[in-house]
Structure 1
Amino acid sequence: MTDVINGRNQNVEQLDNEYVKKQIAKYQEQHRKVVFKRRRLTLLLAITFLIFGFVGFQLFSDHQRLVKLEAIKQEAVADNKLVSKNVDQLKKEVALLKDEDYVAKLARSRFYYSKDGEKVYPISGQNQNAKDQEDAKVEKAIDRTNGSSTTEE
């Protein structure tokens, strides 16, 4: 084993003729082609990974955006239901306001209007509490029509 230097045996000599030179040149050319193919394959794999990475990132960001839009849609649907309920309630109130008896009763209770010869005796605590409740209803209706989804029913 001591006779082996650089992977070659000292007893083996290389011939220096035309055939050996052609074989060595052929081997070197094949080696260059293999190296070139490996480099080209490595470059193609790197480009492929970059493309898949970019597409994957785009898919992830699109998915996140879709989730946010779904949440906004659900909130809008909830607001739409709330507003439609409010619109229905306001339509009922408008229908009631077309009734003259209801308007007269409302005016008498809220603004102390009376018929001819009739006297009104307001009870302080009862009317104030009713007025506060009515004001709260009006404010809640205004908030709902303005699209405020944070108000509670």
Structure 2
Amino acid sequence: MTQQSGKVRKLDNDFTRRREIELNNSRVTAVLSNRRKKRALVISAIFLFFASIFLIQIVRAKVNYADVHVRIAREQKTLKQQKADQKQLKTQVAQLNDKNYVEQIIRDRYYYTKPGETVYSFPNKAPKDVNDYDVK
């Protein structure tokens, strides 16, 4: 028998022993339950930490993916423009290799003449690249 303070004493019978065992079991169960809750919280926190890291990586990858597609579209547009410019320049080179075309340009722009020809120039019909005001 356990001695209690004052005049009150604890009964020592089957009921009180069972009741004490139940209280001890409920305390142990409560302690285990608290441990399990803490363990579950720690596991959940770790899971959320790694999930957030993976989510951040996915978002970064999507942003990079979109950025790359924007760059690709911009570069394709530039490439298309450069191909058009190249085609135009090739056409000009082909024309400059044509003797008749070159002769016509020289005659129109710079007023070269063949022997015995007379050139009449009109002020409003002058080529743009010959005038000082129109040169870029």
Structure 1 residues 128, 46: CA separation in 2 closer, same or farther (over 3 Å shift)?
same
CA distance in 1, matches of 2:36, 2:117: 108
CA distance in 2, matches of 1:48, 1:120: 90
Structure 2: tracts of 5 or more residues without a match: 1-8
Structure 1: tracts of 5 or more residues without a match: 1-12, 140-153
The CA deviation at 1:51 is 1.6
CA distance in 1, matches of 2:124, 2:11: 124
CA distance in 2, matches of 1:60, 1:66: 10
Amino acid at match of 2:88: Q
The CA deviation at 1:130 is 7.1
**Corresponding residue of 1:110:** 109
User: Could you state the TM-score of these two structures normalised by the residue count of structure 1?
Assistant: 0.66
* Identity rate, percent: 22
**Corresponding residue of 1:47:** 46
* 2:125 maps to 1:121: no
**Corresponding residue of 1:85:** 84
Amino acid at match of 1:108: R
Larger RCO (CA under 8 A, 6+ residues apart) = 1
The CA deviation at 1:27 is 3.3
RMSD between aligned alpha carbons?
2.9
CA distance in 2, matches of 1:72, 1:16: 86
* 2:68 maps to 1:69: yes
Amino acid at match of 2:54: V
**Corresponding residue of 2:58:** 59
Deviations 1:89-114 (A, max 9, x none): 11111011111111111111111111
CA distance in 1, matches of 2:32, 2:53: 31
Structure 1 residues 14, 53: CA separation in 2 closer, same or farther (over 3 Å shift)?
farther
User: Could you state the TM-score of these two structures normalised by the residue count of structure 2?
Assistant: 0.73
Aligned residues: 123
Structure 1 residues 36, 126: CA separation in 2 closer, same or farther (over 3 Å shift)?
same
The CA deviation at 1:23 is 4.8
The CA deviation at 1:64 is 2.0
The structure number with the bigger radius of gyration is 2
Give the conservation status (yes or no) of the 8 Å contact 2:96–2:102: yes
